[in-house]
Structure 1
């Protein structure tokens, strides 16, 4: 709004005759030159709806009614209806029981000026209040700007945290999937372990035999190359010892020692049926075998009695 523009004053009167009286009184009034005021319209009406439309945008509205009871009542209705529609409302009183044909224009002129002056003085009392409101508004604006900046920072921080949260949720989901996979693998391994343990238990109960190469075991036991493997197989099949199986170049026994002991028995038997072997060598080997068996028996008895 331009501060140099004149103040727009509008006057509401009760009837057309009051318009004439106010117009006649205003002929000798220079409000524009003295106060930068212009009376833009004189509105004859008793309708609140018409008055609301007519005074819209006015700076000051003067409500000119009689001083009698009906005039006061009408003025109060206007003030209640128009208080939020214009800049300022001011009551302007006509003399009680006046005659519009003989009313003194000077009285109306004075009443108009006094009403405008009262309006101005009333407005002055609001200046301090407006300034306080302006100061509060500036403070509120600064506070709002500060809150807006904080809110922007919080939004940015919240966005970063949301991204971090989404990342954590995704990692957690991946870990959950991996955990489920590991749990499945663990369950599978446990089942396999139980099955393997059961099989091992059954195998242990069966007391299975170990398998050795006859040639290697013969060479290790006697430091000789085995030439008559068929005789070992034949002798074993004839005697049928417990837990000893020979065939296809292999010997099966519960342990390596038992396999060697059986080979020694076979070797001793073969010596007796081999005429090319020197008797002294036979006797020496028999003595060694018997001594070895005696030592083993002695150890067994010692373990039993100990």
Structure 2
């Protein structure tokens, strides 16, 4: 069984005579059993302020006015003033120039029922619209959840990328420091290379000498040991050959052939010297 209370319906009429007409009509119908509604009040007024206080919070408000121009205008004013303060507003038309004593209550009852039915049908339309709105709202919520998830993922990705950027910046600074050190080392190497290049150029300009052992070279050339190295030095110092240097048991010459040639000259000189000494 539905425990929800009956629909609260309130009726606004223009005057006290209309209250009597509507009340007589309602005696001929059981709205509670038929429509699960209750007429909680009939308000006789043309004042917007009084009407607003009297029907505030009602589920349905029926505005009962005459069918003439004045009645339509009054109904429109009530509708505009009550919009948003009650559930639904519906106009019901009373016969123009009616006489309460002779007015058929069935006509008013029928108009009340028709107004209630119209309100119900429009409410059903509103329910369908509300259902559609709920579906759209649910779709929007799902999209919102997806958007929130995407946004969260993007924030996480952004945080990760920011971390990578910071790490990259730190690496760049480190590489800049290393580059600065390498540039300094390169400048030093350039200086050393320049010195070596100059030294090499100087060495290229000079005729390099090879060094040989006098004893070994003498033995290989003449098959004997040299008698006196000091005499060999003496002859060499006396003649001062170009590109030949003797000392410390070694001979320095541009080549082995030059060294051997000089030793041959020394040996010949020593032979002549010995002969001169013997003749004396």
TM-score normalised by structure 2 residue count: 0.64
The corresponding residue for 1:232 is: 232
Instruction: Using the TM superposition, name which of 146-155 and 236-245 deviates more.
Output: 146-155
1:65 Cα shift? Answer: 3.4
1:90 Cα shift? Answer: 1.0
For residues 160 and 18 of structure 1, what CA distance do their matches in structure 2 show? Answer: 75
Aligned residues: 268
1:7 Cα shift? Answer: 1.9
The corresponding residue for 2:278 is: none
Measured at CA, do residues 89 and 96 of structure 1 come closer, stay the same or move farther in structure 2, by a change above 3 Å? Answer: same
The answer as to whether partners of 2:252 and 2:259 remain within 8 angstroms in 1 is yes
1:35 Cα shift? Answer: 1.1
The answer as to whether partners of 2:61 and 2:90 remain within 8 angstroms in 1 is yes
| CA displacement 1:154-191 (0-9 Å, x = unmatched) | 96599579848965985697489289469738954566
Match of 1:177 among 171, 175, 178: 175
Equivalent residue runs for 1:174-253 within 5 Å: 174=171, 177=175, 180=179, 184=183, 187-188=186-187, 192-212=192-212, 214=214, 218=218, 228-253=228-253
For residues 265 and 50 of structure 2, what CA distance do their matches in structure 1 show? Answer: 138
For residues 86 and 12 of structure 1, what CA distance do their matches in structure 2 show? Answer: 13
The answer as to whether partners of 1:48 and 1:78 remain within 8 angstroms in 2 is no
For residues 61 and 182 of structure 2, what CA distance do their matches in structure 1 show? Answer: 86
The corresponding residue for 2:74 is: 74
1:203 Cα shift? Answer: 2.5
1:204 Cα shift? Answer: 1.1
The corresponding residue for 2:89 is: 89
The answer as to whether partners of 2:7 and 2:60 remain within 8 angstroms in 1 is yes
For residues 201 and 261 of structure 1, what CA distance do their matches in structure 2 show? Answer: 29
For residues 226 and 30 of structure 1, what CA distance do their matches in structure 2 show? Answer: 157
Measured at CA, do residues 250 and 124 of structure 1 come closer, stay the same or move farther in structure 2, by a change above 3 Å? Answer: same
SS state of the match for residue 10, structure 2?
strand
For residues 187 and 148 of structure 1, what CA distance do their matches in structure 2 show? Answer: 59
Measured at CA, do residues 144 and 129 of structure 1 come closer, stay the same or move farther in structure 2, by a change above 3 Å? Answer: closer
> C-alpha root-mean-square deviation of aligned residues, in Å?
4.9
The corresponding residue for 2:266 is: 266
TM-score normalised by structure 1 residue count: 0.60
For residues 160 and 206 of structure 1, what CA distance do their matches in structure 2 show? Answer: 70
1:91 Cα shift? Answer: 1.0
SS state of the match for residue 273, structure 1?
helix
| CA displacement 1:7-54 (0-9 Å, x = unmatched) | 232334557x47954884476353222211123455656437973x76
For residues 172 and 98 of structure 1, what CA distance do their matches in structure 2 show? Answer: 92
Measured at CA, do residues 64 and 253 of structure 1 come closer, stay the same or move farther in structure 2, by a change above 3 Å? Answer: farther
Q: Which runs of 5+ in 1 are unaligned?
A: 276-306
Q: Which runs of 5+ in 2 are unaligned?
A: 276-280
The corresponding residue for 2:112 is: 112
The corresponding residue for 1:304 is: none
1:116 Cα shift? Answer: 0.6
Instruction: Using the TM superposition, name which of 59-68 and 179-188 deviates more.
Output: 179-188
SS state of the match for residue 114, structure 2?
helix
